[in-house]
Amino acid sequence: MGETHPIHPHELELKSYQKPYICDGCKELGFGARYRCDKCNFDLHQDCMLAAPIAHHDFFKNSTFKIFHQPPQKCSRYCQDCQRYCDACGQPVRGFSYHCEKGWDLHPCCRNLPSILPINNIKFKLRDKVSSKCIGCNKKNLEGTVSRIRGWSYVSECKKYHFHVHCAMDMVIDAWRNGAFNSHDGNSLVALENLELPLLRQYLSGNRRRSSKFMKVVKIVFKTIAGILLGDPTVVFTGIVVDLVAN
């Protein structure tokens, strides 16, 4: 038996295909597990399907978020430049989102980013304020983005590693647009390897003096963040195990 959702007339079943899709809830890219209606070719991220009507987040302690199935309304009917952006990843809000009375917006997958990621004996904490430069873009804050949102980052306790969530999502979108998911005979791990392009490969090629351990951690963290944003972190965690065993 499937489950129902208010925006779709048919039952949705949890299925897993190692192919990308666009979530019909948040309109963002997804990969792997999703709630699906084969009859209508309709897909929802698990985070969108199971989104609670009311939510909170530690970064916004005095705010209550409500799930919106359409982007929140413009500030006025005369406003022509009122695109809303996720305050976690900096990407546009096109569909499902959490919105609070103070004007903050979060994609469902972004709201569920874990506060701590333990990777290769290194603890990464989710931060909304940082003091170091991102390994992906070599900037402390997101500069030149349309949204002008500071965004969130994962920073290691040792302060050696800093990754913008925005940069990981950009890496995913660029890889998808460049056809990284379109072949590989359905091999999810091979497809995830392509998520390193082009942002991560550019960084790694310019930092050959870094230790192999440093490079390995960089790759694993980017893959992990990407998997969470794609709505199926289990695929990436499988890849992490492969990476750790192989090294």
Q: Which fold has domain 3-50?
A: Wheat Germ Agglutinin (Isolectin 2); domain 1 (3.30.60)
**Planar angle of CA 165, 170, 172, nearest 5 degrees:** 100
**29: three-class secondary structure by DSSP:** strand
At residue 241, the pLDDT reads 37
Residues 84-107: tens digit of each pLDDT: 899 998 888 999 999 999 999 999
Q: Which residues of 184-205 are buried (b: 16+ CB within 10 A; e: fewer)?
A: eeeebeebbbbbbeebbeebbe
At residue 239, the pLDDT reads 45
At residue 149, the pLDDT reads 79
Distances (CA, A) of 205 to 5, 136, 197, 209, 215: 46, 12, 11, 10, 10
- The model scores a pTM over 0.75: yes
Distances (CA, A) of 96 to 23, 31, 38: 10, 17, 21
- Per the structure block, which two tokens stand in for 120? 């290769």
Distance CA 47, CA 111 (A): 9
Domain ranges of the chain: 3-50, 54-110, 114-230
Distances (CA, A) of 58 to 121, 123, 150: 25, 18, 17
127 vs 144, higher pLDDT: 127
